[in-house]
Structures are given as structure tokens and as C-alpha cells.
């Protein structure tokens, strides 16, 4: 029955007792599916029953565009809609929450989400994807100090990465203005962008991103961060031309697994 969610009782215990992982989908829709897929892929499960409980709520029509809000003031703050989805998931048992959208981690949105949840006495643990990404780089790539970021205009122009990256002693490198326009088009263009052509991604979007990686390397980047959760749909490799590629969705997936049950986290990425 459409719109109905059934909670199965098993031996007197419901799934709501198990600190479920909650995924805010719809930002964009394929990014939510990608996060759930990577939670599965990074879980050391040997049977259906050993996999972690996950709730994915994907309501794309209910969440205003994050970049348009940040740069053009269009629509309301998406934080309000995202927080409402988190509260719905919490009622179903979700505790560890991930938002597979880098732009949603821009301060104007992420801090508002935190504020709304705090004011409503929510008990969820909201994982900050950019913060854990910065920590991952500082530990696993200690020799890298210049971090290239490929992301939407909203993430870049609100400088969402700088604080967390610089706290670890590293430096953020963004594309030049003209190159950034191309990166943004690879995500948003109605004809070939990833949001329009997702499965599979268009050859043009992939080509733009490959060239943008080379652009950041020429600017001195030691590693490249896919700072938009749509980008891993186009770039699956762990490195391009010898330079490490870091997928924020995978980092978020592994952090959610570790929070729920660290013993089920697969070794390595």
C-alpha cells in the first residue's frame, strides 16, 4: 500500500530498539541510493540478518534546492524540510543520521538543521560528512596538504570545506571560476548533467570532471575530493592519473557503520 510503512515485530523486539541508521534521501535521489548501497558494501555481513537496519526516506519534491537557496535565496531554507524528515525517521527508530548532500552541510543549512533538532529535543546523532572527511584525510593521507574540491557552486561559494580542512592543517583548493562553472554544469545541466542523466552518467559530464581533476592537480592539489554526492556516480575510481580520489559518500557510509557497530565495518575502502 503506497505511503504505508510496516514495522515487523520479531520475538518481542521491534526494529525501533536497534539504533537504526537513517538516510535523508532525495538530495539527490540517486545519492541516497548510493549511500545505502555503500553501507551494504562496507558492512562485513555474512547473511541478511547481519546487515544493519537502515531507513531511507527519499522525498525529493519536499526539499528545496540547496544551491538555489544559498546563492539566490530561492525557496525556504531546506534545513526545515530535512529536519522534518529526520524527525519522522527518529520516530521509526533511526538514531545515526546521514545526509548524502555536501551542499546541505553548508553552515546556513547544517547549523539550522542542528538547531531545529535541538529545539525539538531530538536525540539523534547527526553525522557531519565534511567533518569526518577532513579527519579521514588527516589520518589516511598525512602526506597530502593541498586538498582539491569538486563540488556545486553552493558548496564552493559558501566555502563549506575550508573550516574543517584547515583545522587539520591542510589547505583547500577550488577550481578557477570558469572551471567551476563547468563542474557545476556537469551536475546541474538539464541536457547532460548528472541530476538529469544519472544511470548511466553522460560521457560529457564524465569528461568535464576528468578535466577538472587535471585542473586541480595543475593548481597543486595532492588529492581530489568528490565534494558532491552526485559525483561518485560519474567517477568510481580510487585514483586518476596517479592522484587519489576521495568519495565523500563512502566516507559517510563507513562512519555510519562504525557508529552503529564498529565490529561490522569492513577493513579498508
101 lies in which domain range?
Answer: 14-128+251-264
Structural domain contains residue 74: yes
Question: Considering its fold, how many domains does the chain have in total?
Answer: 2
φ/ψ (deg, to 5) at 114: -60, -40
Ramachandran class of 241: left when φ > 0, alpha when ψ lies in -120 to 50, beta otherwise? left
CATH number at residue 232: 3.40.50.1860
Assess whether 39 and 115 both reside in one domain: yes
DSSP 3-state of 198 = strand
Pairing of strands 54-58, 94-98: unpaired
Structural domain contains residue 105: yes
Assess whether 46 and 144 both reside in one domain: no
What pLDDT score was predicted for residue 4?
35
Spatial CB neighbours of 262, under 8 Å, sequence gap ≥ 6: none
Summarize the chain as % helix, strand, coil (round to 5).
Answer: 50, 15, 35
Kindly tell me the burial class for residue 188, based on how many C-beta atoms sit within 10 Å of its own C-beta (0-12, 13-18, 19 or more): middle
What pLDDT score was predicted for residue 1?
31
Assess whether 62 and 162 both reside in one domain: no
Structural domain contains residue 76: yes
Chunked into runs of 10 residues, the chain (269 residues) has average pLDDT values of: 36 58 96 98 96 97 96 94 98 97 97 98 98 97 96 97 96 98 98 96 98 97 98 96 95 97 90
What pLDDT score was predicted for residue 30?
96
What pLDDT score was predicted for residue 241?
86
Assess whether 167 and 213 both reside in one domain: yes
Assess whether 256 and 123 both reside in one domain: yes
Assess whether 169 and 260 both reside in one domain: no
Q: Do 161 and 251 form a contact (C-beta atoms < 8 A)?
A: no
Spatial CB neighbours of 181, under 8 Å, sequence gap ≥ 6: 153
Assess whether 238 and 135 both reside in one domain: yes
DSSP 3-state of 192 = coil
Structural domain contains residue 77: yes
Q: How many residues does the chain have?
A: 269
Assess whether 105 and 194 both reside in one domain: no
- What angle (nearest 5°) sits at the alpha carbon of residue 193, between those of residues 190 and 197? 90
Amino acid at each position: 500500500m503506497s505511503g504505508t510503512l510496516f514495522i515487523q515485530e520479531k520475538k518481542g523486539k521491534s526494529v525501533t530498539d536497534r539504533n537504526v541508521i537513517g538516510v535523508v534521501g532525495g538530495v539527490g535521489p540517486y545519492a541516497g541510493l548510493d549511500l545505502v548501497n555503500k553501507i551494504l558494501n562496507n558492512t562485513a555481513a555474512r547473511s541478511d540478518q547481519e546487515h544493519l537496519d537502515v531507513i531511507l526516506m527519499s522525498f525529493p519534491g519536499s526539499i528545496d534546492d540547496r544551491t538555489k537557496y544559498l546563492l539566490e535565496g530561492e525557496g525556504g531554507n531546506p534545513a526545515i524540510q530535512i529536519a522534518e524528515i529526520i524527525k519522522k525517521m527518529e520516530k521509526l527508530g533511526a538514531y545515526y543520521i546521514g545526509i548524502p548532500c555536501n551542499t546541505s552541510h553548508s553552515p546556513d543549512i547544517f547549523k539550522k538543521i542542528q538547531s531545529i533538532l535541538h529545539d525539538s529535543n531530538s536525540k539523534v546523532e547527526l553525522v557531519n560528512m565534511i567533518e569526518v572527511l577532513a579527519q579521514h584525510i588527516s589520518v589516511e593521507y598525512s602526506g597530502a596538504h593541498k586538498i582539491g574540491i569538486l563540488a556545486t557552486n553552493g558548496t564552493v561559494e559558501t566555502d563549506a570545506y575550508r573550516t574543517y580542512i584547515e583545522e587539520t592543517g591542510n589547505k583547500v583548493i577550488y577550481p578557477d571560476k570558469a572551471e567551476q562553472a563547468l563542474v557545476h554544469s556537469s551536475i546541474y545541466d538539464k541536457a547532460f548533467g548528472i541530476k538529469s542523466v544519472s544511470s548511466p552518467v553522460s560521457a560529457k559530464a564524465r569528461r568535464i570532471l576528468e578535466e577538472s581533476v587535471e585542473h586541480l592537480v595543475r593548481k597543486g592539489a595532492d588529492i581530489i575530493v568528490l565534494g558532491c554526492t552526485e559525483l561518485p556516480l560519474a567517477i568510481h575510481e580510487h585514483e586518476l592519473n596517479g592522484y587519489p580520489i576521495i568519495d565523500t559518500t563512502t566516507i559517510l557510509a563507513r562512519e555510519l557503520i562504525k557508529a552503529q557497530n564498529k565490529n561490522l565495518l569492513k577493513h579498508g575502502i
